[in-house]
Amino acid sequence: MVLISAQPYDYELPPPGCLALIIIDMQRDFMEPGGFGDALGNNVALLQAIVPTLKQLLDAFRVNGLPVFHTIECHRPDLSDCPPSKLNRGGEGLKIGDRGPMGRILVVGEPGNAIIPELAPLPGETVIEKPGKGAFCRTNLEALLQEKGITHLLITGVTTEVCVQTTMREANDRGFECLMVEDATESYFPEFKQATLEMVRAQGGILGWTAPAENILSKLSKPTSVESRT
Ligand code: C5J
């Protein structure tokens, strides 16, 4: 049995192949000036802190041949998958579909909608295009995970209290054992990140577990220990 030291208690790794890394919305639209996050008045520089840690996790999954799922929040060019309730929100700045310095905001295929180069998906890695905040909303993510026999998810990405938390709640309700990686998720609001981590692991892990990446990397970085878990 391989245990990850986590809160509120140790997280038991499943057999090889049953654990996936979920990377939520590490897109230029959220990470860089001129994108959606910036248009909403946020300091996008705050999100940069997690990139090296997330890259380490991604590399460890790749080296060990473990499944990785990236998501992007995006809409079709005609915005037919963007409900008015989403389209009309926000402040005075650019809205979804408007043209900004990185192309049309939150529209699939535009430069700003791409995943940042440091974490760009490799050929063969799944990218889930999601129109909602949660990665299970109007996507085939649940079917893909079931098809591959995945039962455990490490949840990372941005922003902690919006798309990351929504996805973790959706996954938890669907029976997945989820761990949010504390230093591989970030928010424009540090206090919201902290509150999210606390609410996830409160009440005996009502939504799942949290742990720093190091606790996971120390177990994944030895391919033999991954392979010997039978
Ligand atoms: C937001 C996200 N914050 N990826 N999206 O609108 O969290």
The residue-averaged pLDDT of 19-28 equals 98
- Kindly give the distance from the C-alpha atom of residue 61 to the centroid of ligand 1, in angstroms, as a whole number: 24
DSSP code string of 104-139? ETTBTTSGGGSBPGGGPPPTT-EEEEESSSSTTTTS
Amino acid at 45: A
Residue 221 pLDDT grade (very low, low, confident, very high; cuts 50, 70, 90):
low
Active-site hit among 18, 38, 82, 130: 130
The protein residue with its alpha carbon nearest to ligand 1, atom 4, reads 163
Contact 133, 1 (CB under 8 A): no
Q: CB of 188 closer than 6 A to ligand 1?
A: no
* Cα-trace Rg, the chain: 17
Contact 44, 33 (CB under 8 A): yes
- Kindly give the distance from the C-alpha atom of residue 162 to the centroid of ligand 1, in angstroms, as a whole number: 5
132-163 per-position pLDDT tens digit? 999 999 999 999 999 999 999 999 999 999 99
Whole-number percent of the chain with pLDDT over 90: 92
pLDDT value, residue 194? 98
The residue-averaged pLDDT of 14-43 equals 96
The residue-averaged pLDDT of 38-53 equals 97
Residue 229 pLDDT grade (very low, low, confident, very high; cuts 50, 70, 90):
very low
Q: Does position 222 have pLDDT exceeding 90, yes or no?
A: no
Q: Does position 201 have pLDDT exceeding 60, yes or no?
A: yes
Q: CB of 25 closer than 6 A to ligand 1?
A: yes
Q: Does position 227 have pLDDT exceeding 80, yes or no?
A: no
Ligand 1 probe mutation, 155, 162, 186, 193, most atoms within 8 A of CB = 162
Instruction: Tell me the CA end-to-end span of the chain in Å, nearest whole number.
Output: 8
Q: Does position 228 have pLDDT exceeding 90, yes or no?
A: no
Overall pTM > 0.75:
yes
The residue-averaged pLDDT of 65-90 equals 96
- Kindly give the distance from the C-alpha atom of residue 137 to the centroid of ligand 1, in angstroms, as a whole number: 14
pLDDT value, residue 230? 36
How far apart CA 96 and CA 36 sit, in angstroms, is: 7
Residue 92 pLDDT grade (very low, low, confident, very high; cuts 50, 70, 90):
confident
Amino acid at 107: V
pLDDT value, residue 172? 98
- Kindly give the distance from the C-alpha atom of residue 163 to the centroid of ligand 1, in angstroms, as a whole number: 5
How far apart CA 89 and CA 190 sit, in angstroms, is: 22
The protein residue with its alpha carbon nearest to ligand 1, atom 5, reads 163
The mean predicted confidence, pLDDT, of the chain is: 95
- Kindly give the distance from the C-alpha atom of residue 32 to the centroid of ligand 1, in angstroms, as a whole number: 13
pLDDT value, residue 35? 96
pLDDT value, residue 16? 84
Q: Does position 224 have pLDDT exceeding 50, yes or no?
A: no
Q: Does position 78 have pLDDT exceeding 60, yes or no?
A: yes
pLDDT value, residue 74? 98
What is the bridge-based pairing of β-strands 99-100 and 103-104? antiparallel
Question: How many Cβ atoms are within 10 Å of 180's Cβ, its own excluded?
Answer: 27
Give Cβ neighbours of residue 98 (< 8 Å, ≥ 6 apart): 39, 104, 105
Q: Does position 10 have pLDDT exceeding 60, yes or no?
A: yes
Q: CB of 158 closer than 6 A to ligand 1?
A: yes
Q: CB of 29 closer than 6 A to ligand 1?
A: no
DSSP code string of 195-215? HHHHHHHHHHHSS-EEE-HHH
Q: For ligand 1, what atom is nearest to the CA of residue 159?
A: 7
